[in-house]
Amino acid sequence: MIYRRTFLQQTITTGIGLSLLNTPAKLFAQVKKAKVRVGLIGVGARGQNHLSLCLRREDVDVIAICDPDTKWAIPKSMQLISKAYGANRKVTAYTNGNEDFLNMLKRDDIDAVIIATPWEWHTKQAVAAMKAGKTPAVEVCGASDIQECWELVNTSESTGVPVFGMENVCYRRDVMAVLNMVRQGLFGELTHMQGGYQHDLRGVKFNNGQQVYGGGVEFGEKAMSEAKWRTNHSVHRNGDLYPTHGLGPVNNMININRGNRLISLSAVATKSRGLHKYIVDKGGQDHPNAKVEFKLGDIVSTLIRTNNGETILLSHDTNSPRPYSLNFRVQGTNGLWMDDLDSIYVEGKSSYDQWEKAGKPDEAGSYMNRYDHPLWKRYANDASGAGHGGMDWFVINSFIESIKRGAPYALDVYDLATWYAITPLSEQSVAEGGGVQYIPDFTRGAWINRKPVFALNDEW
Ligand SMILES: NC(=O)c1ccc[n+]([C@@H]2O[C@H](COP(=O)([O-])OP(=O)(O)OC[C@H]3O[C@@H](n4cnc5c(N)ncnc54)[C@H](O)[C@@H]3O)[C@@H](O)[C@H]2O)c1
C-alpha cells in the first residue's frame, strides 16, 4: 500500500469531527517511487496501447493484466509482453470472468492500475482499486448516473487514494499550444468555447466479429471489441455519451474546478437515422439488426454555462458519415482559434476581418510554432510514434511521473467526476426537451481556492 493517509483522512477515520467528511481531501499524499508497478484492467484495443507504452518505459514494471477475453485481448497482450520483457519474466494474466480484477487487486506488488474496460465497469473497478490501495488511471467515458460520479469522489476522499483521469486530448499538441496562447493572454478574456466528439464511429459500432473495425453490421455478442458493448449505449441512451475529449481540454483553459466551475447545461438531440441507415446500406433491409431502434440522436448539442461567465458548446456526432473533428473553438475578447479550418484571428495582429492560419509546430513563425507548449518542445521525440499523434504518451507519462514524484495528478478525481457527469445530465436534459440541469460541485466548494496544476511547465 503506497498511500499515507493525510492528517485530514486520519481525522476522518479516527472519527474526530465527521463534518470533515464534507471537506474535499485536497491533501492526497503519494509516496515517491523510482519505479511504478502497474496492473492493467482491460487489455482490448485501448488497453493494448497503454500496455505498449508502459512496456517502453524503464520506470514501469508491468506486473499483471486482467481481461476475460482469452481469444484476442489476452494473447495479443501476452505477445506484446514477451516481445518487450523476453520469455523469463512472468506477468500474470487474470482471465477468470468479469470479477477477476478483484483477485488482481489483492496482490501487494501493484502500485497502480490502468482501467480501459467498457464504460459500465470504470467506476466499479476504480472504486475497488482505491479500496485496495492502488491508484487508478481511468479511461474516458460518461457516467451512467450522477451517483457514480459521487462514488468516485467519495471513495477517493475516504481512502486517500488519488485517481487520474486519462483525457488524452488535453495533451494534443495544438490544444496545448492554444492553452499556452490562452495563458499568455493572446485571446483576451475567454468568453466562449466549443469542443466535441465528431467521429464517424459506424465502423466501430458494427463489425463482423473477426476484426475490430467494420466488415459487417453485427454488434453485441456477435461482434468484437467496442461493437460488443458500446453500440448498446446507442440503442438505449440519448445524450452526449462521450463528452470528455471536447470538455477536458477547454476546462483546462478556463480553470474548471480551480477558480471556476461548471454550473448548468441544456442539451438537445436530432432524430436518430445514421446507424439504421448504415445497417440497411451494408447488411440489407432484411438483416435482423435493421429492426433495431436506436435511441441516440445523430447529433447531440449540449450548452454549458460556467460560474465565471463563459459558455461551452459540446457536440456529440458519431452516427453519420463525416471526417473526424473535435470541433474546437476558443474565443475571447481579443480573438479566437478554430481547429476545423486551422484558423485564428487576433485583433491588432491579424488583418481586419481576415482569418490567419494557425499553422504547424514545425512551421517557423506560425502561431503553433511560436506557442508550442514547453512539454511538447521537450518530449516530442519521446512521444513520437505513440497513439493519437503522440498525445497518448503524455497521458501515461503524466500518470507515472506524478506517482514517482509524489505529486498531485494534473487531471484528478474532481475533473473525472465533472466530465463524467455531463452524460447523465445531458440525457436528462434531452428527455426534458432541453431542460436546464444543474451540474454538481464535486469539490464541495474547494474550487474557489484550488489552483491550476495542469502542464504549468515542461516537467510532466
Ligand atoms: N482516450 C481515447 O482516445 C480512447 C480511445 C479508444 C477507447 N477509449 C476508451 O477505452 C475504453 C476501452 O475501449 P477499447 O476500445 O479498448 O474497447 P475494447 O472492447 O477493445 O476493450 C475493452 C476490453 O475490456 C475487457 N473487459 C470487459 N469486461 C471486463 C472486466 N469486467 N474486467 C476486465 N476486462 C474487461 C474486454 O474483454 C475487452 O478486451 C473505453 O472506455 C473507451 O471509451 C479511449
What does the pLDDT look like over 401-444, one tens digit per residue? 999 999 999 999 999 999 999 999 999 999 999 999 999 999 99
- Model confidence over 155-191: pLDDT tens digits? 999 999 999 999 999 999 999 999 999 999 999 999 9
Distance 43 CA to ligand 1 centre (A): 7
Distance 320 CA to ligand 1 centre (A): 23
Q: How far apart are CA 390 and CA 382, in angstroms?
A: 9
Q: In the chain, what is the straight-line distance between the N-terminal and C-terminal CA atoms, in Å?
A: 24
**Does pLDDT of 292 surpass 80?**
yes
**Residue closest by Cα to atom 6 of ligand 1:** 46
Which atom belonging to ligand 1 lies closest to the Cα atom of 41? 33
Domains of the chain: 4-167 (3.40.50.720), 170-374+412-448 (3.30.360.10)
The pLDDT assigned to 88 comes to 85
The pLDDT assigned to 12 comes to 31
pLDDT band at 5 (very low <50, low <70, confident <90, very high): very low
Which atom belonging to ligand 1 lies closest to the Cα atom of 121? 31
User: Which of the listed residues 48, 67, 78, 392 should we mutate to test ligand 1's pocket, taking the one with most ligand atoms within 8 A of CB?
Assistant: 67
Name the grid cell of 109: 506488488
User: Which of the listed residues 103, 117, 125, 206 should we mutate to test ligand 1's pocket, taking the one with most ligand atoms within 8 A of CB?
Assistant: 117
Name the grid cell of 395: 497521458
**Residue closest by Cα to atom 5 of ligand 1:** 46
**Residue 145 Cα distances to 46, 67, 157, 165, angstroms:** 24, 25, 19, 18
The pLDDT assigned to 387 comes to 85
The pocket around ligand 1, CB under 6 angstroms, is made up of 41-42, 44-47, 66-69, 73, 98, 101, 116-119, 121, 139-141, 168, 225-226, 228, 388
- Model confidence over 235-266: pLDDT tens digits? 999 999 999 999 999 999 999 999 999 999 99
State the pTM of this model. Answer: 0.93
Taking alpha carbons only, the member of 400, 404, 440 closest to residue 154 is: 440
**Residue closest by Cα to atom 8 of ligand 1:** 46
The pLDDT assigned to 248 comes to 98
The pLDDT assigned to 26 comes to 41
| Higher-pLDDT residue of 26, 290 | 290
Which atom belonging to ligand 1 lies closest to the Cα atom of 224? 19
Distance 276 CA to ligand 1 centre (A): 24
Distance 122 CA to ligand 1 centre (A): 9
State mean pLDDT over 47-62.
97
The pLDDT assigned to 31 comes to 63
The string over 244-266, giving b where at least 16 C-beta atoms fall within 10 Å of a residue's C-beta and e elsewhere, is bbbbbbbbbbbbbbbebbbeebb
Q: Over the chain, what is the mean pLDDT?
A: 93
The pLDDT assigned to 388 comes to 87
φ, ψ for residue 166 (rounded to 5)? Answer: -85, 55
319 neighbors 273 (Cβ within 8 angstroms): yes
**Residue closest by Cα to atom 25 of ligand 1:** 42
pLDDT band at 341 (very low <50, low <70, confident <90, very high): confident
Q: How far apart are CA 118 and CA 207, in angstroms?
A: 17
